[in-house]
Structure 1
Amino acid sequence: MVRTTIARTLATLALGAGSLMGVQLAATQSASAQALSISCGAVGVELELCKAGVEAWSKDKDVEVEIVSTPNSSTERLALYQQILAAQGDDIDILQIDVVWPGVLAPHLVDMRAHNADAGTGHFEALIDNNTVDGKLLALPWWTDAGVLYYRADLLEKYGFEPPTTWAQMTDAAKTIMEKERAAGDDDLWGYVWQGKSYEGLTCDALEWVDSYGGGAIVNAEGEVTINNPKAVEALEMAASWVGDITPQGVLNYDEEASRGVFQSGNAVFMRNWPYAWALAQGDDSPIKGKVGVVALPKGGEDGGHTGTLGGWNLAVSKYSKNPDLAVDLALFLTSQAQQKQRAISSSYNPTYPELYADAAVLEANPFFGTLEETFTNAVARPSAVVGDKYNRVSSQFWSAVHGVLAGQQEAGPALAGLESSLTRLGRRGRW
């Protein structure tokens, strides 16, 4: 008889080796009698959707699957995975992993195409490239994210602006509307809010600025540190010019929710955020319901490009699974186009198949999805696949350098020159 069980939740995981060992043991004891186990997040409806998908797959199979609810904190979840995998434990067969983890966990994951030659077919190419390390496809895209630009459609219409296609257009519209609305008495309105806190979110924002100007990535696919270039300098100088002008000084402490709070309360004309903010901005309790539009992030001038930092989650299979073929089969089912269509319609999860952004049922449920295909097609990946387990150090050095520029502590040129030197030393023999 097919039976899907929900394992002991790991969401209360505390940091520290002792706590991690206790959690690992609990997972091992619970999962040892199962044919398969899969880790799923529990943010919002994630866990329920995971359970429904697993039940659909196992309906006609004589397989028991245990669903392990992992910590919502990405830091804690990665720490748990790293300890289990380092011990070569088979506690979890299928792991839900962040888009920046394939390179970090690469030694412990199976090559999906070694078990199914068609694995990865049809997904956005940028996602497959991101999940491929040393020629091996280590994870299947489950849902995706990329940075997008939110705008107050009512205010743009009021002052005769179209949704901007370049950063210069966005800056001009933001400044004009902010000044006119303030003159009319709305002293709390700002032109543009985003994620300026010194954390991973700033890496995402800053990489979008740099890539939109044609400044490339931090480290390119060949392992060369490329961040110190004139286009990247221009991009950071642009962003620094916003702070204290169209952007509040407090943005240097904003994360996603802080910037959403300002925008959703009606106190910003534009906002950079992930697609999740759409449903919240359109909620019944939102002061700006029905007044919001979403477009691709602006280009860095007419010669630049629309881009968005790649985000999202994937499914990977542990190299230590006792049933890797079965695990890959379940991962393929859960990440299939049919399953992703259901998730998009019911819960606004962004699919990883380009065709679904033109699907009538998906667009009826999520009208703004139709504007995002180009964003996901051209999404820029953080260099986790190239730098591997040193990604966190690379990212922290990048966001620290950028934060210093935004705070006026250093000019963009010297900051990126120093970053280049530091990352080159961190790499292997001057490169990655």
Structure 2
Amino acid sequence: MFQKRQEEGKTKPGDTYAPLRRKPGLRPLPGEELGLSARLTFWDVLHYLARGLALSQRGASHGLAEHWGSLKYCQALSADAETHLKVPKEGKRIAMYYRVPQSVELGQAFALAISEEILTHRYTGISIVRADTALSAGWTLTSRDKAKTKTVGYQYRPQFFAEVWKPGDSSRVFPIACKGNHSDRRKVYEQLASSAVYADGVHIGAWDETPALLFSTEISLSDPLTVHVLQADGPGGWLHIPDDAPAADIGLPVGDENPAVGIFEPGCPVGPRYYEWFQRALARVGAAGLTAFAGDGESTAALLTARQGSDFFQGFAHAAAGSIHDARYTLLGEEFEGTDHVFRLNGERVQAFSGVAKDILDALLTRESEERSADIAAYRQRVHAWRTKPNGTFWDDKWDGVVSISRDGTVLAMRQIAPFQNE
């Protein structure tokens, strides 16, 4: 790698080569976890991608609807009943022009879906949160951040965290590093090796004991889609909290803590002093992901700190990208609130609705005029109770469309709607 950078003129006189640190102890996922295949619908994949994009803050405007970016993949994959997901003719055409974003974003979607399937076999409560948003609560990740603190100085971090938890208990964190490609098996090996560097950027507790999940999704243009998984099954990752800590403490503000940025090795280490604080940070980012998915910018901003980009979710929303929390539907007998979007697919008008179960969202709504603030403890209790309900993809006759319901109480529903009538 150093030789390649020299050839490309990207090094300076005096630069030396230092091998990148990689996650140790990696091994294939045991076959008894999921077997050789996992059952997912295409709509579930879109749902996971939308949830993963909700806090991405990548749009040029101040729109909240980052997650609507998932809809561009409505025709990227296809499968008949009881078959594997493949790239159809339309998906190949998309790949010609959007190969890199398609491989990156679909790689993330499948990584999140498979991560939740894996961890659900081991634990009861799981939340997926964007790693950079959570880490920004305490660390200045890049020189572009406005915080006047020392930057981490290390660009390699996992893209997501999976937090497994029960209300009032210690939780455990699994960093998730994920990539995707349209190439071949050789590229898969390169991506898994690269992901091992990203996964090692965060350590919780003792060094080299944090578990992790690494993914490379092979999006072949001719063969079925394949997700390659490695795991580091370390004993760490636990955010130990005192047994007598009140459950309501999970809702305490995260403040402006500044943990060390890596004394001996670069990265973001979470030591015992910061276990409770980091658990609160994860809980708030998980909650913010739900309110963003429902289109509520005010509540999302209230859950994030300035360093986490709370201002992004306030103020003007561009008409082409904004979301407003103003849609309410009963789907499969459950009440959901959120936001909707109407677009055209092959000339047909399609409505997409993203929302959160009303009882869960009620705990998170923030209204300055009513002096309301989010109740994180109540939110965690309600999400934990929700996990006993059915999840997956269903057809709702009353909605007249497909409905994907997740274990965290979010929903992505789509249906064809009638064209405008000329009066």
When normalised by structure 2's length, the TM-score is 0.23
Between 1 and 2, higher relative CO (CA 8 Å, sep ≥ 6) is seen in 1
When normalised by structure 1's length, the TM-score is 0.23
Higher strand share: 2
